[in-house]
Structure 1
Amino acid sequence: MKKSLYFLFISVLFWTSCDPASYQSEVILPRIISDGMVLQRGEILKIWGKGTPGAKIRVSLAGVVGSNTVGEDSTWVVELPELQAGGPHLLEVNQQKVEDVYIGDVWLAGGQSNMEWELKSGVIGTEEEFAKGGFEDIRFFKVPHSYSALPQEDVSDGQWKKATPEHMPNFSAVAWFFASKNRAEENVPVGIIESNWGGTPAEGWTEAAVLASLTGSYMEEAKEIVENPDLFEAENQANEKRRVLRDVMVKGPDSVVAQKTSALDFDESSWSIINLPRANPLEHIAWVRKSFNLSEIADAKLTLSTIDQQAYIYLNGQLLHYKDWGVPMPVLDIPSDRLRKGKNVLTIRAINTWNNRPVIGSEDEMYLEVGSRQIDLQGTWAYSNSDAEELLPKVEWLNWKPGMMFNAMIYPLINYPLKGVIWYQGESNAGRYEEYQELFSAMITNWRNRWEKSDLPFLFVQLANFMERKNLQPDSDWAFLREAQRQTLNLPKTGMAVTIDIGEAEDIHPRNKKDVGERLWLLARKVAFKKEGLAEGPVIQSDFTLTDSTAVLNFSSVGKGLQLSTGDKVLGFIVGDDNGDFEAVSAEIISESQVKLALPMGKEIKEIRYAWADNPEVNLVNELGLPAVPFRKVLVEQE
């Protein structure tokens, strides 16, 4: 406190005694230092940018002042003392003004699509959130997707957006629910920096020089990138040119092309004949047409429950619906005047920019209901991906390569003080689970080093349950990845939100993001704000009691005691013997913090696992309903 007061005194003295005319030079600020920004309370603040070498820089904010001189490399940094929460303030850098600045808590929301998933994309509970009207002291800055083999000075674009009804639908749902809790409980403004990208692996978010010293499958390529960044950057630039062309092509069909291709009398004789949905997936910009006849017309409903990712749907030459990425395909109401007696034609233009393989329809979910009649749309369709429009150029996911997203989407932010990081990722690394603990731990440490804050809170989401439910699945990649995530908790100031109970078997993007964000907030209260209270579900302890027929396990984080979310028996435990054979076992709660397992007779048990499958059935929780943390406990060391 004395240091801050001294800094303030010297700063004010300096301000009043120096000639303001000497601070006239122009400056360039990074995009994140812009109107509406939120800065971290209680931290030394860095304001930085570019200017003319040798020019003087003066910065003022909320009554404090700092100064510096532009270096020979045209860069400058000015530090300001810690400030309390509040606003709005005016930030002045020489003659440049940044308005509507707040001081509060700032979090970086990183990862892949489950963090990127927006409120507008079918998230449970969003209508209630929208009805509240938003909070103007919650602001989001979305870093655009970008990648580079070289560290970038600034992000490619972006601006701070207030949480208003206009902007909220485009916010990360997980980050929104988290930020809402932060604002409500701490009573401070909240800033969220979204730096995330669907489908991305952790190595793309980690500095290549760090990866080059590790042992994973990415090591050799990381070394090549470190040694020849210009070569990789040239490849990136060429790939981006193809992407820009691709994006122009898929954005929307030319109106003349669309009208012609969807018309009733369009000649489709040169097109291929395919069977949908059996022919899925298709390729490039897929145009398909299906004719059907009506003897009577009436109001109708069209069901095409599966379209991946985007589609324009036409009926008799007129646009009926546009289905966007991430938005569920609704049942479409068709007024009778859009139909006609005799021949009708349904035309679909489908695109999938993720893998260039669009999907149209699924079994038993392709039909048209006209009055009391149901017309099956499965079967033969006319198909072309090169007649109406050209084939798409090949665009590769070069951003997945070591360090590429770190350089363009993380490195430009490292001067910006944070309260911490919230992270949801791992799906794209599940096939290489054996290297994830080392990789993820290295990434966290890398970020902490770059922010020069060894105790930067890092809170992450463990993979949710997903895919077909199987009674026994000891070889599950997703279970092993979850275990690697759990082991990453060995790093200090980390926390893991367990979501093994709120996933969806058929969708890798569960729509329950509210519980995810709020579970991350419980961890933030404990890790970042040092508050007491339950922050996680039951956690297995190292001590246990083993007999020939039973195992008694001890748990912490139980609150008032272990509970079951459903049923009267604990579900989800399996045991393995010295031959590597596993079987499910029954279990029961025997005290506030203990569970007893009934072990198979005549076997030497080597392992106990809990919630060990892609999509396990589990029900062990604590008093807050938080699920027990999945685990693997080895009882007998392997030779």
Structure 2
Amino acid sequence: MKRYFSVILLISCFVQLVKAEVVLPAIFSNGMVLQQKENVKFWGKARPNVNLVITTSWNNKTITVKTGADGNWRSNVNTPVAGGPYTIILNDGNKLILSDVLIGEVWVCSGQSNMEMPVKGFANQPVLGANDILLDAEEAGVRLFRIEKNLSRLPIEKISSKWEVSSSKSVSEFSAVGYQFARFLQHNLKVPIGIIQTAYGGTDIEAWMTKNSLAGFSDFKNPSDTAKIIKNDPAVLFNAMVNPIIGYQIKGVIWYQGENNRVNPLTYDRKMAAMVKEWRALWEAGNWPFYYVQIAPNVYKDHKEDIPLLYEAQARAMSLIENSGMVVSVDAGSQKTIHPPNKTIIAKRLAYWALAKNYNREAIAYLGPIYKSLKIEGEKAILNFEQIPLGLTAYDQKLIGFEIAGSDKIFIPADAVITGKTVVVKSEQVKNPMAVRYCFKDSAVGNLYNVEGLPLGPFRTDKWE
């Protein structure tokens, strides 16, 4: 009898194996968007040691790939110019049909709570214009893929997310920055846009990095593998929320994170560079663009003095990360919440970078003024800038956010005026100025722009402690 049941079990397993359907990662599913004009990677599981046939409806061509003894397989599929919907048939003896597949542009949005913040907002924390955003959400050309929050000590591959069409319901739950970025691209490019959200509030950059990319850094907690897992342990978010989509062809990444790293700001630029380098290497898709947001002003409860150092580190990262760009948000913060409500201006500024740098939209400005040099003339400190081809403006408002100091290194609020393409800063209390700072505090708000409407970021002319 025992042998009988063993035989039945063996036959049952064999039947299940023969009937096994093609299994794909969640990112490959109905309604997905594939990156246009690329040789995109496909992978999954099927029956072992058989020929898997992949047929794409946009050209009716077939690709045959031999599955391994474990059923695993990998292949590549050439995608056409943007369009759709299409179908993809995968056949290992049993057909799996992917329907409603669009070809277009695919981006990832990642980071902590300011990227996670959905269009509907958080408790007592609104997104500006949320209802109007939802009124405009019925857009067939935008598809959403939101990865659920998860943690893992080891890299995992399975997630339960799915592609969703853009609707008021799906958009309300999706990243306000990520969705609007996708919507701006779709509106301008007139092609389908896929946006993949992988974000988790209150998290350190170290959690989004691999153990490999963290080599050489020591200013973070590294618990034992047997300790209770928490969301800020090194690599746990990469393992659970990035690794499952590694290899899915993308155009680029937008990133909004940093508030949590105010406790160790001096290495943030190098960590971000190490993270991006490792992600790109694992993706094996070249140096895709990486656009990120400098954190916004806020009245922080702790580590207030470290916020300006984080501003500096984020600004430095642009020179460390090839094909990157930073959005300044010094004019779009909040004194009451770490989650500023105006997510539209942030998404739009991220879109400026992508449209100008990656989609060849001419005459679109994407970079605000950058401090260049300081000249002292008597009681005046004269500031010069780059990235101001047409000059500077404060839109008829009095300039704010400037401070000046003499040899005593005590900074006090200063008067500042635009003079041609320079800003002249002075104070009656400082007769012999030596240094100027702009919005170099956690809560300081700025209002100086280039004529194209992009803001100057926080900076200082000194190197004082």
The TM-score, its normalising length taken from structure 1, stands at 0.64
Q: Match of 2:182, as an amino acid?
A: A
The aligned runs of 1:451-462 (5 Å cut-off) are 451-462=283-294
Correspondence 1:144 to 2:143: no
Correspondence 1:99 to 2:96: no
Q: Deviations over 1:324-361 (max 9, x none)?
A: xxxxxxxxxxxxxxxxxxxxxxxxxxxxxxxxxxxxxx
Of 291, 296, 299, the residue aligned with 1:464 is 296
Contact kept, 8 Å, 1:494 with 1:527, in 2: the verdict is no
Query: Which whole-Å CA distance do the structure 2 matches of 1:136 and 1:82 have between them?
Result: 20
2:311 corresponds in structure 1 to: 482
The aligned runs of 1:136-215 (5 Å cut-off) are 136-155=140-159, 157-211=160-214, 213-215=215-217
Larger strand proportion of the pair: 1
1:509 corresponds in structure 2 to: 339
Contact kept, 8 Å, 1:545 with 1:552, in 2: the verdict is yes
2:21 corresponds in structure 1 to: 26
SS of 1:499's partner is coil
The structural deviation recorded for 1:509 is 1.1
The structural deviation recorded for 1:603 is 4.7
Contact kept, 8 Å, 1:476 with 1:612, in 2: the verdict is no
SS of 1:87's partner is strand
Q: Match of 1:183, as an amino acid?
A: Q
Of 80, 84, 89, the residue aligned with 1:87 is 84
Q: Match of 1:509, as an amino acid?
A: H
The structural deviation recorded for 1:502 is 1.5
2:218 corresponds in structure 1 to: 216
Contact kept, 8 Å, 2:381 with 2:436, in 1: the verdict is no
Contact kept, 8 Å, 1:43 with 1:83, in 2: the verdict is yes
1:42 corresponds in structure 2 to: 37
1:260 corresponds in structure 2 to: none
Of 48, 52, 58, the residue aligned with 2:53 is 58
Correspondence 1:437 to 2:266: no
SS of 1:526's partner is helix
1:10 corresponds in structure 2 to: none
The structural deviation recorded for 1:138 is 0.6
Q: How many residues align?
A: 436
The aligned runs of 1:378-397 (5 Å cut-off) are none
1:416 corresponds in structure 2 to: 248
Identity of aligned residues (%): 32
Q: Deviations over 1:585-625 (max 9, x none)?
A: 3222111x3222237656572x4321111111322112243
Query: Which whole-Å CA distance do the structure 2 matches of 1:133 and 1:198 have between them?
Result: 24
Q: Deviations over 1:84-138 (max 9, x none)?
A: 1001000111111111000111111101111111111232112222223510221
Correspondence 1:590 to 2:419: yes
SS of 2:42's partner is strand
Query: Which whole-Å CA distance do the structure 1 matches of 2:254 and 2:218 have between them?
Result: 24
The structural deviation recorded for 1:145 is 0.6
The structural deviation recorded for 1:638 is 6.9
2:410 corresponds in structure 1 to: 581
Query: Which whole-Å CA distance do the structure 1 matches of 2:102 and 2:382 have between them?
Result: 52
SS of 1:195's partner is strand
Q: Match of 1:27, as an amino acid?
A: V
The structural deviation recorded for 1:504 is 1.2
Aligned-pair RMSD on alpha carbons? 2.6
Correspondence 1:540 to 2:399: no
1:296 corresponds in structure 2 to: none
Q: Match of 1:100, as an amino acid?
A: D
Q: Match of 2:369, as an amino acid?
A: P
Change (3 A) 1:460 1:185: same
Which segment drifts farther, 99-108 or 123-132?
A: 123-132
1:305 corresponds in structure 2 to: none
Query: Which whole-Å CA distance do the structure 2 matches of 1:112 and 1:444 have between them?
Result: 16
Correspondence 1:134 to 2:131: no
The structural deviation recorded for 1:487 is 0.6
The structural deviation recorded for 1:576 is 4.5
Change (3 A) 1:93 1:580: farther
The structural deviation recorded for 1:528 is 2.5
The TM-score, its normalising length taken from structure 2, stands at 0.87
Which segment drifts farther, 481-490 or 74-83?
A: 74-83
The structural deviation recorded for 1:525 is 1.4
